[in-house]
Structure 1
Amino acid sequence: MATSALLVASLAACTTTGKATPPAPTTESHPPSGPVPAGLERFYGQSLTWADCAPYATSEDARSAFQAKDIQCARLTVPLDYAKPAGDTVTLGLLRHKATDAGARIGSLVVNPGGPGASGMVAAAGLIKPATGTGLAKRFDLVGFDPRGIGASRPAIHCLTDAERDADRADDSETDGSPAGVQKQEAQEKDFAAKCAQRTEDGTAMLANVGTRDVVKDLDVLRSVLGDEKLTYLGYSYGTRIGSAYAEAFPKNVRAMILDGAVDPDQDAVESLVAQGQGFGTAFTQFAQWCAAQQDCALGRDAAGAVKAFQDLVRPLIDFPVPVGDGRKLSYEDATTGVIQALYQESLWDTLNTGLNELKRQRGATLEKLADIYNERDSDGRYGTTQDAFTAIRCVDDPRVTDPAVILKAQQEYVKVAPFLDDGRPASAARDACAFWPVPNTSEPHVPNVEGLAKTLVISTTNDPATPYQAGVNLAKGLKGALLTFEGTQHTVFLQGVKCVDQAGVDYLVDGTVPPEGTRCSGQ
């Protein structure tokens, strides 16, 4: 959920005219760098063969992103289960843009955009242009990786077919909080969990080892194989959880780490849901105030009445979805998903207003397209795997929530802090797929123990809709790192054109200089 804005910005940045000439394959080897855990020597010292990225594309987004110039891709092999390093293995997709000034090269900058479930390869390709503009591309190899089970990595997490995903989006049964409605929702969630185990290669063995616990071990293997004694890392959104977990597991292996759009390290699934709801509620308020100043505001010229105007507009979709062509209809779920997608960044607010004005005329194409972007549905009706991976990873990263009273309270609190998402019907106490997950969780939220960690830099945005500002404050405190505040309404900000933020981040990554305590940035 928390990566869409970055992904959209990245794809726009990386698209090129004409296809780049594929690079000739090259094999590189380095002796293991830094400490090597016992039994993992063959992984830490493996060779990588860098070649054309086109065969790694698994989606329309990836095909577009991988047309960027001067990129190479490779596969990294890691244990499926680190407790059994001699057993089965999985592979991770890697993308690299080499430093353009070999004499000034510092090392690799490894990127993860979060999700969980988003492609680090696609994100890294999209960051080439801004990294070039800020000078980072001269000093660092820009490296993106698809975490285990995601994107080009193999095997990939797979739960629903394209047709099943379309049907799920069209079904608004989650608005039915009656006993029969709860029973139906839970049957669907249980079926989803079973399909994930059935359709993912290696089944429960794979699902048991896709969490952040294992990703950080993969990240340390990657650090060594790239020839870096210490890791330089850029994590966005849920990528901050990977970063903080790596900092705890390998504190002395960190050179520098920027964590932007932080996930609170000590917040459980219920607390995170409510906090995120508050973030989107605040972003909707900001949108409503902007919209009220526009002559054609779909919600009227009085921002105070925007929530009711929005509810009056979208609630009828529960019973009367709007046709959008190709046999599809705009459901209530898709309408609200499209709105959430647009709230990730102010640049989409005009598009959102257009979509809401269309809905007033019983047209839903724009909101449906926004929902398609969020769900990674391409023009041919095919889906990426992000949503499947999102659920699978969250189900092993957090303890499951099974108490109906706790679930009901969370849903009620959610619509209090995000009233625009109140569907007007009794809240549901239905358990989600994680309650029926076939394997136990392997992690749980906590303040990390990071003794010996180098100074980190956390960037937090005051009106971040997906990862509220206080989460960044808490993460910086937990890591004993520096905090950089950006005053704005968007999700993540580094390398997105805000000069104050970009300069502070570049200075830190290049020479370790953190901004003075209390530093705040605004504007562009």
Structure 2
Amino acid sequence: MLRAVGAAALAVLLAACTGAPAPAPPDLRKFTAQKLTWSPCGDGLDCAHLTVPLDYAAPDGKTVTVGLLRHKEAKQRIGSLVVDPGGPGASGTALAASLAKSPAAAPLRDRFDLVGFDPRGVGTSEPRITCRSDAELDADRATDTESDMSPEGVKKQLAETTAYGAKCVEATKYGKEFLANVGTRDVVRDLDVLRAALGDEKLTYLGYSYGTQIGAAYAEAYPRNVRAMVLDGAIDPAQGLVESLVTQAAGFQDALDEFGKWCAARGDCALGRDPARTTDAFQRLARPLIAKPAPAGARHLSFEDAVTGTFGGLYSRGDWTALNNALAQLAEGNGRTLLAFADDYYQRDPDGHYSGAIDAYFAVRCVDHARVTDRAEIDRAHEKMVAGAPFLAGGTPDTSELDICSTWPVAPTSAEHAPHAPGLPKPLVVSTTHDPATPYQQGVDLAKDLGGHLLTYEGVQHTVFLQGNACVDRAGVAYLLDGTLPATARC
């Protein structure tokens, strides 16, 4: 099947075919030549803000800022290593601060300044995407409106998602104008301004999860500005919103099945000793929460949060013992630990404050994908998700994403397509065989589309580089230092 051509590439092709001149790129020299003002921000780290146009089509208009954090102590400096952890909505400054302390990243700190950036609208960037208050998000999580698929339930959901979009417009500075310019298209432009402001002729980049989508889009837009690029936990930019959600649901089912095999070998498995019945056992624990949430300290655990908490526990095999304990606790009528998993997933701190990552997630996803408005298609997507991930039966948090994007107040700014980046140095794409959030095949497809080297990690977790696997870490570090691609294809 032919994949869609990217909008920018299509514009160039049309100009070539018609003889019309391609539009001149905007003059961004006042942004690319800016001098970053770094200030100490604790633990030997420096922070700054990068000024960029709110709308690249109007570079002389309003500006916004991108939050930065740097660890600088390279002895034989190659340049900057720019990092992003994904999301959308996750903080690159937080990732850089973490890598500044990581033993696995020590060889990189010797040769690179580590630079994390918070994509526009996220974290320390200003303005921030803001939609719901902490109390509103708590209240939304505590109910399971997505479980009601009756015509009345669907009508109520659409009314709620329309109101949600309106709140985002009202609560976010510059409203629709900003929300229309928060997608990957604009983050990539910010990233190239950052590269220039850092004084790097070419970009060295490490992206995880959604950070791989940023990396792939940058590679397509600026292939000759890339020095090296590691993309771990890859997203396939050719997947539409429905396909990406269906594929991810199946990925979490696969991870739950692997968890069931591991758990069944234990004497204390909360889901029983028969791995073939893992899904049934999970459903027996979770489905009653639709009608009666479980006590969880001063709060309650809903079905939605039970699913989300389980998602969070499946991200890394290192969390499986704690996830088993949380499910065993739920079997006794206590949802506290599984709710803590969900809180971590939603980035809710112990004081009840949210980071804003979830609102940013929806804002970016809704402008990065073609809009799906046909109710029948949304219903079929829900059916496919549950068919591929039966442990979700009864309701799923991801149903709301389709509804939110169907009523989003601004139009998409990107279209799904296979990336094409002639002249790009070979990137290193790392893909894990049982990655729940970005299933393995997506990395296979991205490596093929970008002409990159695929490094397969045999395991069950979401992303792996610089997380303690010696084989993957050696390969990634050597590649970033001198461009040497690994001789091996598997770790």
TM-score category (smaller protein): over 0.9
Aligned to 1:41: 29
Aligned to 1:85: 59
Of residues 491-500 and 446-455 in structure 1, the stretch that sits farther from structure 2 once superposed is 446-455
- Report the alpha carbon displacement of residue 37 of structure 1 after superposing the two structures with TM: 5.5
Match of 1:201 among 156, 162, 173: 173
* CA-to-aligned-CA distance 1:383-406 (integer Å, 9 cap, x gap): 111000000000100011111121
Q: TM-score w.r.t. structure 2 length?
A: 0.93
Mapped to 2, the partners of 1:495 and 1:37 lie a distance apart of: 38
- Report the alpha carbon displacement of residue 105 of structure 1 after superposing the two structures with TM: 0.7
Structure 1 residues 343, 209: CA separation in 2 closer, same or farther (over 3 Å shift)? same
Mapped to 1, the partners of 2:38 and 2:401 lie a distance apart of: 47
- Report the alpha carbon displacement of residue 133 of structure 1 after superposing the two structures with TM: 4.9
Match of 2:139 among 161, 164, 167: 167
Instruction: Describe how 1:374-523 pairs up with structure 2 within 5 A.
Output: 374-423=345-394, 432-516=403-487, 519-521=489-491
* CA-to-aligned-CA distance 1:86-116 (integer Å, 9 cap, x gap): 0000001100001331xx1100000011100
Describe the SS at the equivalent of 2:464.
Answer: coil
Instruction: Describe how 1:113-124 pairs up with structure 2 within 5 A.
Output: 113-124=85-96
- Report the alpha carbon displacement of residue 131 of structure 1 after superposing the two structures with TM: 5.9
* CA-to-aligned-CA distance 1:160-179 (integer Å, 9 cap, x gap): 00010000001101101111
Q: Does 1:178 align with 2:150?
A: yes
Match of 2:217 among 231, 245, 249: 245
- Report the alpha carbon displacement of residue 423 of structure 1 after superposing the two structures with TM: 1.7
Mapped to 2, the partners of 1:132 and 1:225 lie a distance apart of: 28
Structure 1 residues 188, 456: CA separation in 2 closer, same or farther (over 3 Å shift)? same
Matched-pair contact (CA < 8 Å) for 2:478–2:485: yes
Structure 1 residues 431, 465: CA separation in 2 closer, same or farther (over 3 Å shift)? closer
Q: Does 1:151 align with 2:139?
A: no
Match of 2:102 among 119, 124, 130: 130
Aligned to 2:112: 140
Structure 1 residues 133, 431: CA separation in 2 closer, same or farther (over 3 Å shift)? closer
Mapped to 2, the partners of 1:306 and 1:208 lie a distance apart of: 43
Mapped to 2, the partners of 1:202 and 1:262 lie a distance apart of: 32
* CA-to-aligned-CA distance 1:205-260 (integer Å, 9 cap, x gap): 00000000000000000000101000000000000010000001101000000000
Mapped to 2, the partners of 1:431 and 1:514 lie a distance apart of: 39
Q: Does 1:109 align with 2:42?
A: no
Mapped to 2, the partners of 1:334 and 1:278 lie a distance apart of: 19
Mapped to 1, the partners of 2:284 and 2:38 lie a distance apart of: 54
- Report the alpha carbon displacement of residue 421 of structure 1 after superposing the two structures with TM: 1.1
Q: Does 1:230 align with 2:181?
A: no
Mapped to 2, the partners of 1:386 and 1:424 lie a distance apart of: 22
Mapped to 2, the partners of 1:220 and 1:162 lie a distance apart of: 34
Aligned to 2:20: none
Matched-pair contact (CA < 8 Å) for 1:278–1:417: yes
Q: Does 1:341 align with 2:312?
A: yes
Q: State the superposition RMSD in angstroms.
A: 1.6
Matching residue's letter, 2:435? D
Matched-pair contact (CA < 8 Å) for 2:105–2:466: no
Mapped to 1, the partners of 2:476 and 2:106 lie a distance apart of: 10
Structure 1 residues 183, 127: CA separation in 2 closer, same or farther (over 3 Å shift)? same
Matching residue's letter, 1:473? V
Matching residue's letter, 2:66? L
Instruction: List gaps (5 residues or longer) in structure 1.
Output: 1-35, 54-66
Aligned to 2:234: 262
Aligned to 1:316: 288
Q: Does 1:94 align with 2:82?
A: no
Q: TM-score w.r.t. structure 1 length?
A: 0.87
Mapped to 1, the partners of 2:82 and 2:168 lie a distance apart of: 29
Matching residue's letter, 2:288? P
Structure 1 residues 72, 372: CA separation in 2 closer, same or farther (over 3 Å shift)? same
Describe the SS at the equivalent of 1:399.
Answer: coil
Describe the SS at the equivalent of 1:190.
Answer: helix
Matching residue's letter, 1:212? T
Matched-pair contact (CA < 8 Å) for 1:182–1:428: no
Structure 1 residues 95, 396: CA separation in 2 closer, same or farther (over 3 Å shift)? same
Match of 2:39 among 51, 64, 67: 51
Matched-pair contact (CA < 8 Å) for 1:464–1:489: yes
Aligned to 1:221: 193
Matching residue's letter, 1:317? L
Count of residue correspondences: 467
Instruction: List gaps (5 residues or longer) in structure 2.
Output: 1-23
Q: Does 1:331 align with 2:302?
A: yes
Describe the SS at the equivalent of 1:520.
Answer: coil
Aligned to 1:73: 47
Matched-pair contact (CA < 8 Å) for 1:46–1:225: yes
Mapped to 2, the partners of 1:175 and 1:212 lie a distance apart of: 31
Mapped to 2, the partners of 1:222 and 1:191 lie a distance apart of: 35
Mapped to 2, the partners of 1:428 and 1:152 lie a distance apart of: 29
Mapped to 1, the partners of 2:358 and 2:274 lie a distance apart of: 36
Q: Does 1:286 align with 2:274?
A: no
* CA-to-aligned-CA distance 1:261-284 (integer Å, 9 cap, x gap): 000121111111111011101000
* CA-to-aligned-CA distance 1:102-143 (integer Å, 9 cap, x gap): xx1100000011100100000111112336654111000000
Matching residue's letter, 1:332? F
Matched-pair contact (CA < 8 Å) for 2:26–2:57: no
